[in-house]
Amino acid sequence: DAKTTQPPSMDCAEGRAANLPCNHSTISGNEYVYWYRQIHSQGPQYIIHGLKNNETNEMASLIITEDRKSSTLILPHATLRDTAVYYCIVRAGPGSQGNLIFGKGTKLSVKP
C-alpha cells in the first residue's frame, strides 16, 4: 500500500503559487519523499525529491516539516501546462530500486 495521503483534487489560478500537501506520517529515517507528475496521456515526470532539508530546482520547491511527517510541493507560478496528477511517493533512498509505489495523487487543475 502507498504510504502517503494526498487530497484528490485542487484548483489553482494561473500565475499563482500552487501548494500541494502530502502526509507521510509513517515515514522511516532512511526514506525519501519524491514527487512526480503525470500530464494526461503521458508517462509520469520526475519533479523533485528530498530527505529532510527543503529542496528547490527549476520546476518546484519541496518543503518537508521538521518531524518529516508531511511535505508540500510548491509550484511558484502555475501555468495551464501544470495541470496534471501530482504523486507524492515515499521510498528508501540510495541503493534502493523498484519500490516506487504510486498513491492516488492529487489532480491539480490550473485555471485561467
Which residue from 13, 80, 101, 111 is in contact with another protein, where contact means CB under 8 A?
A: 101
56 part of the interface to another protein, by CB under 8 A: no
**CA–CA dist 75, 83 (Å, integer):** 11
Residue 80 DSSP SS3: helix
| Nearest partner of 49 among 65, 40, 60, judged by Cα | 60
102 part of the interface to another protein, by CB under 8 A: yes
Q: Which helix or strand (DSSP H or E) is residue 75 part of?
A: strand 70-75
For another protein, which is the closer residue by CB, 52 or 104?
104
Interface ranges with another protein (CB under 8 A):
2, 32, 34, 36, 38, 41-46, 49, 85, 87, 91, 93-105
